[in-house]
Amino acid sequence: MSTWVKRIRGAIGMGLTWATAWFAAGMALLLVVGPDAADVPFPLGFAFLGFLAGTTFSGVLGLVEGRRRFDQLSIPRFATWGGVGGLLFSGIFVVVAALGVDTLLVLAPVFALAGAGCAAGTLALARKAEDRGVLDAGAEVDAVGLSEAEVRELLGNGS
């Protein structure tokens, strides 16, 4: 699979992950304000914005940390790039929707915090899934066993 196809697939996956989280935030807001508060249902609007924010974050992450794997990044660093992606997305959103500077001043910190939180959660989720995959892959290792020479080499007495 080519590098671009993998990056696009990763961006879509990141967008869907963030859309799920933002959908949940929209559901919580809907419970607070009531169903008659807006024309567009909050959960669907938030999910769409979350997808766009997640793909924006994926682009930022690909540009600045393209050569590193998830296990090489710390959660604070990942969250920082998530905040940067949220700020970038808020700027793009305000320009495209022609909302004005006042709206940007409100949305920028909200999207930055949401981006940082989603990024940290995404990395924690990826690490948890990776750890489970490593554990599952290693389940058969003990059944194979080691030869006497391999045991001596493993213990440092192989010479």
For residues 46 and 94, the answer to whether their CB atoms sit within 8 Å is no
At 49 the pLDDT is 86
Rounded Cα gap, residues 146 and 21, in angstroms: 45
Annotated domain spans of the chain: 3-155
For residues 61 and 81, the answer to whether their CB atoms sit within 8 Å is yes
At 51 the pLDDT is 92
pLDDT in tens, 8-22: 888 898 889 889 988
Model-level pTM?
A: 0.68
Classify each residue of 95-117 as buried b or exposed e, where b means 16 or more C-beta atoms within 10 Å of its C-beta.
Answer: eeeeeeeeebeebbeebbebbbb
Question: Residues in the chain with pLDDT < 50?
Answer: 135, 138-139, 141-143
pLDDT in tens, 14-54: 889 889 988 888 888 777 777 676 666 778 888 988 898 88
